[in-house]
Amino acid sequence: MARLPIMIDTDPGIDDAMMLTLAFAHDDALDVRLVTTCSGNISQDKTNYNARTFLSYIGAQVEVARGLEQPMFRELEMAEEIHGESGFGNVEFPPPTLPVSERPAIAAMRETLLASEEKMTLVATGPLTNVAALLLAHPEVKPKIERISWMGGAAVGGNMSPSAEFNAYVDPHAVEIVFRSNVPVVMSGLDVTHKAFVTLEEAQGILAIGTEFAEKAYSLVTHYLDVIKRTPFHEENYDQVLHFHDVCAVMYLLKPELFEGQDCFVEASLEGITAGATVVDFTNRTGEKPNVHVLHSVDREAFVAEFVKAVKVISDRVEFR
């Protein structure tokens, strides 16, 4: 079966690293042609460095292009208190061998799309600033995009405010541009990512792989436990489970049968106390045509099993490279 051609826009970030683990473990199914970095969890300097150092460590050979520094119309708000000052908690990787691309992210995205013979899927696991800028500046690429699989948003409740998820909150104007673009969007919001958790007992299965990479992955994901208790929006059993939010955006491409969702009209709130809220019209009260496929459920046990297998694949590559 032909591999699915994709681009990844990301802001590593702990769960972004786990998303990259899943994506590059499945190079039999996914053809990752470009990675671009956005500002979000941490600054652009750090997200680009982290993408390059992590991908270098796991042996990936891919162009990594630097994206925009700031959201469209807001000051950048980051999440260093969650991901650590470096973005990777207390885990260190060797200096990157992958260079910064000579092409800025928007140009690299445009040129990669237009050069592709097939439509491409765009995976986005941070604020949608780069994606929105691409669609605004280069609408000619829209016919070359099969869909955008985005980790962000929430139908019910937020983790940055009572109604807004972090990625949507950081750049709500970008979200609204993407939602209004007429490009198909799959939204892995908090409604589904909070159900895609890994228990501490299951996380021991990662550690039990026994490799250096597995130990680093375990240290990354358990870093959350030390900091999440200080946030005001933690959920029940927050100290017993780990959430791999960004992994959902790639897992959906690999295993769509694990997820349930609904086509809905979704609009982003831009200002005030609800800024960043993604308002989902589940009952079609607005009469608007659906513009987003909103995921809301996942087969959690199968999700965890697939993720642990991916860690094992990358572990073997790193161990024997």
Contact 84, 224 (CB under 8 A): no
**Known catalytic residue: 245?**
yes
245 token code pair: 């939010």
Residue 230's Cβ-count burial label (10 Å; 0-12, 13-18, 19+) is exposed
State the catalytic residue, choosing from 26, 173, 243, 245. Answer: 245
CA distance 162 to 93: 35
Question: What is the CA 241 to chain-centroid distance, rounded?
Answer: 19
CA distance 321 to 317: 6
Q: Is the dihedral of CA 66, 71, 76, 81 positive or negative?
A: negative
CA distance 266 to 281: 6
CA-angle at 292, arms to 286 and 296, nearest 5°: 100
CA distance 122 to 217: 25
CA-angle at 228, arms to 225 and 230, nearest 5°: 125
As annotated, the active-site residues are 245
